[in-house]
């Protein structure tokens, strides 16, 4: 057998001759995410003598060699985050283990879909939903590679992200942490994020963690609710993006979620073994969310491999007892330990120890440039009557209005607002990233306006009369509207916060040249839409938000973002607003309000089934405010000559969707051209589905023949032509006519078809 000189993912393996401590005492057990232990160099082993450090062997052989040399208690260490990751610390919250076998690495988990949390000297990127609006896999990979490098430099080598969900309700607090409402878009962008994190920096390996598995779609009662859904919905909407990410990126870990699925907690749900590890082929390790474990035996038996944080359920005493009672087998314990160790080895953690001291400033100019490009590409121009791009004449005044438009803090305590408070909201429901070097909209617009000879005035918008007066004196107004959301709570409605709707209305009434810049983590209603001249959705755009916004407003960047989620006209139109059983879910007494002091599980019925996101609106004939995939440019595009070849096929061979795309305007622009398929009616799908897209840049008047190819592996890995037949428990490619739609949004124009026989 050829000796392995690279890891499975092609990481060059460093010589195993690094020295590690074999004894380390006196360090406190980490509290939330394990703090890294630095070396106690009193005693050190030559690691080259241990077979698990032999980089010429496969990760499997190395992991097996390590377990063969381990005591039972040393195996137990791998089943809990803290003892697994601080191998030379003995006691964690009063639970004592023998030290780990020599030469296993310090591993440190860090949160973040959107950046390295809890650190200074790191880049604050746009949040994942914003990145999803770029539809740019290469950019998501680039951002994730930058994040991975910063994590490693900050002594963190497992990133608890990317996150993905089904986008079931826009009220869900963590919507900005995920990649939107379509399984294909979300799955492929998740794969890009994993590839960037895990493979982006061969000398600075970090593992990625897909979270949260599965049907984890609301923050309300997230630990005490059951997501009740049928097998087909589970497979096609909620599991499919995980499968796509597994197929296209091989993540080393997955986090099981807090909620129950059909009455069984996610971290002890048979879905882990049967669907995630079985059908979807995930071969890394499953870790729990923080406090999402409820049992010892049921968790292990059903496929959870590691308890996050400290030992609570997978303690040595509990494991010994479960073994003695015959509730778990030795093979199940060995299997879980093996999966953790293999992932750490395969991901490069054994061969690339982190430095003892973190880099002070891990945020490089390149990373900041990536953050800027991502913010520019993620801006979605929702409406524009021609006022944008701005072209202020010398001496004109631009009023920038709104508390989150400026770095100047308004309000106090939890009501304090500034651009920083919407820089990167997603994980903690409030700013939990340092968000250093932040360029606010006010600063970005002021700098850019100065080049045009214009000046900027800012008003915080807290007093509508004063805001209107400022607006009235300006030539043009940019007013920001915000919505702060994140972990722990869903939002109660889809309204702008801080009296934002009234502010926009007051400003628009005072100045007809009003442009709205939204800073939201989800969809919002826009009762003022027809009173303003343009609306740009900028999401939580990270530290470069102001520079990016100014670039879009002044036309230095021609907007190319497209909505990764539907914006409904009203909350009442959303798929889950049709009954309280769907959202927020109900209790046995039929109420939506938790009985006082009760720990009863809230039952959330996913009775909308497959009709999530644009599938719902299309199926029900409800016009959204802005459709999934919508986004304008300063130029216009025309789609024509749609052809599909072959016109009859077996369903396993390549399908080519070709069309002509023409830039019919006067500026160079980039169009995210989207292809959708409507399966034959026998499939019972509610609507067409996204099957591919291409980002195409064209000069004024230029046209190009665009081809979106559905390769045999796409058809298989991404389930493009298939539906899930719950009766047989299998994916089926129906025969019949498939309608192909292409266009600049899910409200598409050109239609053609092919047949599968």
Backbone φ, ψ for residue 32 (5° rounding) = -100, -75
The rounded distance, in Å, linking the Cα atoms of 485 and 428 is 9
For 52, the 3-state DSSP assignment is helix
Count Cβ atoms within 10 A of the Cβ of residue 324 and give its class: 0-12 exposed, 13-18 middle, 19 or more buried.
exposed
Burial class for 465, CB neighbours closer than 10 Å (0-12, 13-18, 19+): exposed
Residue 720's Cβ-side half-sphere holds a number of Cα atoms within 13 Å equal to: 27
Q: Which is nearer to ligand BGC, 484 or 533 (CB)?
A: 484
Q: Does 211 bind ligand BGC (CB under 6 A)?
A: yes
Is 289 annotated in the active site?
yes
State in angstroms the smallest separation of the CB of 258 from ligand BGC: 7
290 near ligand BGC, rule: CB under 6 A: yes
State which residue, 431 or 698, has the beta carbon closest to ligand BGC: 431
Which residues fall within 8 angstroms of residue 589, CB to CB, at 6 or more apart?
595
Q: Per CB under 6 A, does 310 bind ligand BGC?
A: no
Closest separation in Å from C-beta 434 to ligand BGC:
17
Q: How far is the CB of 564 from ligand BGC (least distance, A)?
A: 20
CB of 196 to ligand BGC, least distance (A): 18
> 289 or 442: whose CB is closer to ligand BGC?
289
Alpha carbon distance 654, 693 (integer Å): 16
Which ranges constitute the DSSP H helices of 7-107? 59-68, 72-77, 81-85
Determine, following the binding rule CB under 6 A, whether residue 685 of this chain makes contact with ligand BGC.
Answer: no
Of 610, 740, 723, give the one whose Cα is nearest residue 674: 740
Task: Determine if 615 is a binding residue for ligand BGC (CB under 6 A).
Answer: no
At 423, give phi and psi (nearest 5°).
Answer: -70, -50
| Rounded least distance, CB 211 to ligand BGC, Å | 5
Q: Which residue in 289, 305, 460, 714 is the catalytic one? A: 289
Size of site (CB under 6 A) for ligand BGC = 5
Residue 644, helix vs strand vs coil: strand
Is 162 or 441 the residue whose CB approaches ligand BGC more closely?
Answer: 162
Q: Select from 18, 224, 28 the least CA-distant residue to 102.
A: 18
Q: Which is nearer to ligand BGC, 211 or 352 (by Cβ)?
A: 211
Q: Which residue has the tokens 């963590």?
A: 174
Instruction: Say if strands 91-92 and 95-96 run parallel, antiparallel, or are unpaired.
Output: antiparallel
Q: Does 694 bind ligand BGC (CB under 6 A)?
A: no
Q: Closer CB to ligand BGC, residue 80 or residue 718?
A: 80
Instruction: Quote the CA–CA distance of 709 and 71 in Å, as a whole number.
Output: 52
Residue 160 or 479: the one with the smaller Cβ distance to ligand BGC is 160
Query: What mask of x and - would describe binding to ligand BGC in positions 83 to 122, judged by CB under 6 A?
Result: ----------------------------x-----------
Work out how close the CB of 148 gets to ligand BGC at its nearest, in angstroms, rounded to a whole number.
Answer: 16
289 makes contact with ligand BGC (CB under 6 A): yes
Q: Find the shortest distance in angstroms from Cβ 160 to ligand BGC.
A: 4
CA separation, residue 74 to residues 328, 635, 661 (Å): 17, 63, 61
Minimal distance, residue 93 CB to ligand BGC, in Å: 16
DSSP 656-689: EEEEEEEE-SSS-EEEEEEEEEE--GGG--SS-E
* Identity of the residue, 52 or 178, whose beta carbon is nearer to ligand BGC in the bound complex: 178
What the block records as the tokens of 219 is 């923050």
Residue 519, preceding bond cis, omega within 30 degrees?
Answer: no
For ligand BGC, the binding residue among 160, 491, 644, 718 (CB under 6 A) is: 160
Catalytic annotation, residues = 289
Residues that bind ligand BGC (CB under 6 A): 111, 160, 211, 289-290
């Amino acid at each position: 057998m050829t000796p392995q000189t690279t890891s499975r993912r092609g990481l060059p393996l460093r010589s195993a001759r690094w020295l590690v401590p074999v004894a380390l005492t006196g360090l406190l057990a980490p509290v939330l995410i394990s703090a890294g232990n630095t070396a106690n160099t009193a005693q050190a082993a030559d690691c080259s003598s241990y077979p698990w450090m032999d980089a010429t062997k496969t990760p499997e052989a190395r992991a097996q060699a390590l377990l063969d040399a381990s005591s039972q208690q040393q195996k137990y260490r791998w089943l809990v985050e803290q003892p697994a990751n601080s191998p030379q610390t003995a006691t964690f919250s009063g639970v004592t283990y023998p030290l780990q076998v020599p030469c296993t690495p310090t591993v440190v988990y860090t949160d973040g879909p959107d950046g390295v949390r809890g650190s200074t000297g790191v880049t604050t990127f746009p949040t994942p939903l914003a990145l999803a609006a770029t539809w740019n896999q290469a950019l998501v990979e680039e951002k994730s590679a930058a994040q991975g490098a910063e994590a490693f430099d900050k002594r963190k080598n497992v990133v608890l992200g990317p996150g993905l969900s089904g986008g079931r309700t826009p009220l869900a607090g963590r919507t900005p942490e995920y990649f939107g409402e379509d399984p294909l878009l979300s799955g492929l962008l998740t794969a890009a994020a994993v590839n960037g994190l895990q493979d982006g920096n061969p000398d600075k390996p970090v593992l990625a963690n897909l979270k949260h598995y599965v049907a984890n779609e609301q923050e309300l009662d997230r630990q005490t609710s059951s997501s009740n859904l049928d097998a087909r919905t589970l497979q096609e909407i909620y599991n499919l993006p995980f499968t796509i990410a597994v197929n296209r990126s091989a993540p080393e870990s997955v986090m099981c979620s807090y909620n129950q699925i059909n009455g069984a907690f996610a971290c002890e749900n048979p879905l882990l073994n049967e669907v995630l590890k079985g059908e979807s082929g995930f071969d890394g390790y499953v870790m729990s969310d923080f406090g999402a474990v409820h049992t010892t035996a049921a968790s292990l038996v059903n496929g959870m491999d590691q308890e996050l944080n400290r030992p609570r359920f997978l303690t040595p005493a509990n494991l010994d007892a479960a073994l003695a009672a015959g509730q778990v087998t030795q093979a199940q314990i060995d299997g879980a330990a093996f999966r953790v160790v293999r992932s750490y080895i395969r991901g490069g953690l054994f061969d690339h120890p982190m430095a003892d001291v973190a880099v002070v400033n891990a945020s490089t100019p390149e990373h900041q440039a990536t953050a800027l490009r991502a913010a520019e590409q993620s801006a979605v121009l929702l409406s524009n009557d021609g006022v944008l791009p701005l072209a202020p004449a010398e001496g004109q005044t631009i009023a920038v209005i709104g508390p989150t438009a400026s770095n100047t803090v308004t309000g106090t305590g939890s009501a304090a607002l500034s651009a920083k408070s919407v820089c990167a909201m997603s994980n903690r429901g409030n700013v939990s990233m340092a968000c250093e070097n932040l360029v606010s909209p006010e600063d970005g617009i002021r700098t850019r306006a100065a080049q045009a000879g214009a000046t900027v005035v800012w008003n915080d918008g807290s007093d509508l009369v004063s805001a209107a007066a400022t607006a009235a004196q300006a030539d043009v107004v940019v007013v920001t509207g915000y919505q702060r959301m994140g972990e722990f709570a869903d939002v109660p409605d889809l309204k702008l916060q801080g009296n934002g709707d009234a502010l926009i209305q007051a400003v628009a009434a005072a100045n007809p040249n009003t442009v709205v810049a939204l800073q939201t983590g989800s969809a919002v209603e826009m009762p003022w839409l027809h009173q303003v001249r343009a609306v740009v959705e900028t999401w939580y755009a990270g530290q470069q938000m102001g520079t990016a916004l100014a670039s879009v407003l002044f036309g230095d960047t021609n907007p190319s973002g497209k909505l990764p989620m539907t914006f409904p006209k009203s909350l009442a139109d959303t798929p889950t607003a049709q009954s309280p059983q769907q959202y927020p879910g109900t209790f046995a007494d039929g109420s939506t309000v938790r009985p006082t002091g009760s720990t009863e599980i809230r039952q959330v019925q996913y009775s909308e089934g497959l009709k999530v996101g644009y599938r719902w609106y299309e199926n029900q004939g409800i016009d959204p405010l802005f459709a999934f995939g919508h986004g304008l440019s300063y130029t216009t595009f025309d789609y024509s000559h749609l052809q599909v070849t072959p016109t009859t096929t077996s369903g396993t061979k390549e399908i080519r969707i070709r069309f002509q795309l023409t830039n019919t305007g006067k500026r160079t622009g980039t169009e995210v051209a989207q292809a959708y398929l409507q399966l034959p009616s026998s499939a019972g799908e509610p609507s067409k589905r996204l099957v591919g897209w291409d980002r195409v840049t064209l000069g004024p008047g230029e046209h190009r023949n665009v081809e979106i190819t559905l390769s045999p592996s796409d058809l298989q890995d991404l389930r493009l032509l298939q539906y899930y037949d719950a009766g047989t428990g299998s994916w089926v490619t129906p025969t019949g006519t498939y309608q192909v739609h292409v266009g600049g949004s899910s409200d598409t124009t050109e239609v053609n078809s092919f047949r599968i026989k």
